[in-house]
């Protein structure tokens, strides 16, 4: 059963347990399920299994093939009903890159056979052992890629130790014997970094979308800055050995604070935990006694407490699952839960305790879950007329319109002294009015400030103007608000505006042509007039995001790699802090006005953060509406509870390996023509790559 009755952290609520090879696997699975686990990881073949020698016929008639397995040697599931609850693990002795020819041959053969058998059973995934020889996995990755190319749904998970010292065959002398030079060859640092092992393996399997990794946690953890890299990788589970736990004063297994923080980080990324290894902590018998007279609590206590044991009891357990053993003194009776006899029960309870301690996701984050790591093409509001449902989504952003109201309020207070409040009428123009939310915000600001305003609501979408007209009539604003059905770039205003209000920003600030629109509209702004917004700056940072790269790659064409996407980043890692890119000010005082831009950005990385993969660039913006009233998606200054804009993602055609301490140098252009605006981007360090989207061949915003 799930670790908790909550859905805000997705599949992280499901935990697995390792189970030794068992011919009666259904019984072992049932025991794990009764304990509370949701799936098991078990060997596909007996630990002593070795493939038969192909030269031996074992008494078969000529032409008769030798079957790879015998019934007692292999994981057998008579029904497909349970396959979703079983992950098969490949034999840990394999070494396809061994210098021993017999071991190499046997390893290649059994690896192919076991993956084929798991596919035949229809298992959800296969768990591969860690690369036996760090940075020497050519044959291993080749066999796995061959298997991946033949799969349609079953995933392959590679075990990767979080720290090199926890590698099964780690030897400090062996690791330190790697060559050290500046030619890009292996170095001691490279060989001792498990992320490097993973990156080499996934690169050689062509970033296949069915390949993921399982991080095996050890007693000691790498520095936090190295762990952060894994946020952008396809982590399928955390392998948590029982030996990394210590005992609390009641004998229950507990984790160090650093390990707890590690699990919390991955829980938030919706990563599952698999407990591996035998029970190493002895729980006193009386601690495992459950009384029906005890009341279950909705809040877990510390591991070993009555509250924790009650709350972590599987909710689908009925009295039929228990065996009464004795009456209690208070008239109740003591019952026995078969699941509590499972050797990993106390570890499952501890995971429940940690998971249930997680702070609930804010309502906004819950609403945005369906958009996390989901590619969306940016809007083209000048070229396309938006649908009513699209307007409706944006209008729910209370924070955004509260900030606009505050900006208009302050501008009105600054422009009109108290003594002139009743006699001065301020002309305010809302350009790109949509269905009218900025008109409503402006009218609210007028009421708050006690200043009189005359509003022109300018909108080119013929369907949206119907909504504005309805709002004007409903609110009785016919004498204050004038509806103008026109393109702001062509409309000839009858008056000059004191305040010009717009919401034309895109996820990168200027990517929905706010500069071009406002430059065209500023001709009817008074010389001392105010534009809201007054300025905006885009920001960009190099990003690791394995999932988004694969999503773009799956389109199998150049166009999608040369298109920027609106994305709610979730599983991602910024390789370096953001840097400012383009800034636009309004009204634009330049003569002549030129909205072409170019930026060269050099990102320096801390060598202690280790190597990383670069899949593209994440973009954000900061917007100054009026003075210190802002709207920001830039993480360091982000406006809380605002959801109108997700960040933007500029993908790279090929992933780029960034060595530890190496800088990333990016080039980006904003290009303008008479009928379109587009971006071009590329990198020149740590290696040079092609400039993307030359001449707007794959993506542009139409004027």
The binding site for S-adenosyl-L-methionine comprises 391, 400-401, 459, 487-488
Please name the residues in contact with 561: beta carbons below 8 A apart, sequence gap of 6 or more: 552, 553, 651, 652, 653, 692, 698
Respond yes or no: is residue 512 known to be catalytic.
Answer: yes
Distance of CA 617 to the CA centre of its chain: 15
C-alpha span between 613 and 234 (Å, rounded): 12
DSSP output for 260-311: HHHHHHHHHTT-EEEEES---SPPPGGGG-EETTSPP-SS--STTSHHHHHH
- Strands of the sheet containing 664-672, edge to edge, are 597-603, 664-672, 676-685, 701-702
350-367 per-residue burial string, b: 16 or more CB within 10 A, e: under 16: bbbbbbbebeebeeeeee
**Residues placed in the known binding site:** 391, 400-401, 459, 487-488
Q: How far apart are CA 352 and CA 447, in angstroms?
A: 52
C-alpha 385, offset from chain centre: 31
Residue of 216, 405, 406, 503 with catalytic role: 503
Catalytic annotation, pick one of 512, 516, 622, 680:
512
- Count H helices, E strands: the chain? 18, 29
Among this protein's residues, is 503 annotated catalytic?
A: yes
Name the DSSP letter for residue 74.
B
Residue 246, φ and ψ in degrees, nearest 5? -115, 175
Interatomic CA distance for residues 672 and 680, integer angstroms:
11
The first and second tokens of residue 429, run together, are 């123009």
**Encoded tokens for 320:** 């039929």
Could you give the angle at which helices 138-148 and 194-204 cross, rounded to 10 degrees?
50
CA–CA separation, 17 vs 475, rounded Å?
Answer: 62
Task: Enumerate the active-site residues.
Answer: 503, 512
């Amino acid at each position: 059963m799930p670790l908790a009755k909550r859905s805000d952290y997705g599949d992280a609520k499901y935990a697995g347990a390792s189970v030794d090879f068992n011919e009666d696997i259904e019984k072992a699975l049932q025991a794990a399920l009764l304990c509370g686990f949701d799936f098991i990881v078990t060997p596909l073949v007996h630990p002593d299994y070795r493939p038969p020698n192909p030269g031996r016929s074992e008494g078969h008639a000529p032409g008769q093939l030798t079957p790879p397995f015998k019934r007692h040697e292999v994981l057998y599931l008579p029904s497909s009903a349970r396959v979703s609850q079983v992950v098969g693990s490949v034999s840990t002795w394999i070494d396809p890159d061994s210098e021993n020819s017999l071991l190499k041959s046997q390893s290649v053969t059994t690896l192919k056979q076991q993956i084929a058998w798991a596919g035949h059973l229809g298992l959800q995934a296969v768990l591969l052992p860690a690369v036996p020889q760090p940075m020497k996995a050519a044959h291993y990755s080749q066999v796995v890629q061959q298997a991946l190319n033949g799969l349609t749904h079953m995933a392959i998970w590679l075990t990767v130790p979080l720290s090199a010292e926890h590698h099964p065959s780690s030897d400090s002398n062996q690791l330190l014997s790697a060559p050290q030079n500046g030619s890009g060859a292996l170095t001691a640092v490279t060989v001792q970094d498990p992320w490097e092992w993973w990156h080499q393996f996934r690169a050689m399997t062509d970033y296949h979308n069915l390949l993921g990794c399982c991080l095996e946690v050890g007693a000691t953890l790498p520095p936090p800055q190295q762990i952060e890299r894994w946020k952008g990788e396809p982590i399928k589970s955390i392998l948590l050995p029982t030996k990394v736990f210590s005992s609390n004063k009641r004998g229950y297994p507990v984790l160090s604070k650093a390990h707890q923080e590690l699990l919390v980080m991955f829980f938030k990324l919706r990563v599952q935990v698999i407990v591996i290894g035998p029970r190493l902590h002895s729980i006193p018998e009386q601690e495992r006694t459950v009384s029906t007279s005890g009341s279950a609590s909705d809040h877990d206590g510390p591991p070993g407490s009555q509250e924790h044991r009650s709350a972590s009891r599987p909710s689908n357990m009925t009295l039929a699952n228990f065996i009464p053993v004795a009456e209690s003194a208070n008239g109740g009776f003591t019952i026995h839960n078969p699941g509590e006899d499972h050797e990993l029960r106390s570890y499952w309870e501890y995971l429940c305790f940690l998971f249930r301690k997680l702070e609930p996701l804010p309502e906004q984050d819950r609403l945005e879950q369906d958009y996390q790591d989901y590619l969306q093409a940016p809007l083209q509001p000048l070229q396309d007329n938006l649908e009513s449902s699209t307007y409706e989504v944006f209008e729910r952003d209370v924070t955004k319109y509260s900030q606009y109201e505050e900006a208009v309020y302050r501008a009105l207070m600054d422009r009109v002294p108290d003594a002139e409040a009743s006699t001065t009428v301020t002309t305010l123009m809302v350009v790109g009015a949509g269905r009218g939310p900025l008109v409503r915000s402006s009218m609210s600001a007028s009421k708050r400030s006690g200043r009189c305003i005359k509003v022109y609501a300018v909108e080119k979408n013929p369907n949206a103007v119907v909504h504005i007209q309805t709002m004007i009539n409903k609110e009785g604003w016919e004498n204050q608000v004038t509806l103008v059905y026109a393109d702001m770039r062509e409309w000839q205003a009858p008056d000059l505006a004191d305040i010009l209000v717009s919401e034309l920003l895109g996820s990168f600030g200027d990517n929905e042509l706010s500069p071009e629109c406002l430059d065209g509209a500023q001709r009817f702004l008074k010389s001392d007039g105010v534009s809201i917004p007054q300025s905006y700056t885009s920001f960009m940072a190099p990003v690791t995001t394995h999932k988004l790269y694969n999503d773009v790659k799956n389109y199998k064409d150049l166009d999608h790699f040369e298109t920027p996407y609106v994305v709610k980043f979730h599983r991602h890692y910024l390789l370096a802090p953001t840097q400012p890119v383009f800034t636009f000010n309004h009204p634009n005082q330049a003569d002549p006005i030129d909205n072409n831009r170019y930026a060269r950005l050099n990102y320096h990385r801390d060598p202690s953060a280790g190597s990383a993969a670069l899949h593209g660039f994440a973009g954000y913006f900061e917007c100054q509406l009026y003075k210190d009233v802002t709207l920001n998606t830039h993480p360091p200054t982000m406006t809380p509870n605002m959801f109108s804009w997700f960040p933007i993602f500029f993908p790279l055609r090929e992933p780029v390996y960034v060595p530890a301490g190496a800088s990333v140098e990016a080039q980006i252009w904003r290009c303008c023509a008479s009928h379109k605006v587009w971006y071009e981007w590329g990198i020149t360090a740590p290696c040079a790559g092609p400039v993307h989207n030359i001449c707007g061949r794959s993506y542009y915003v139409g004027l």
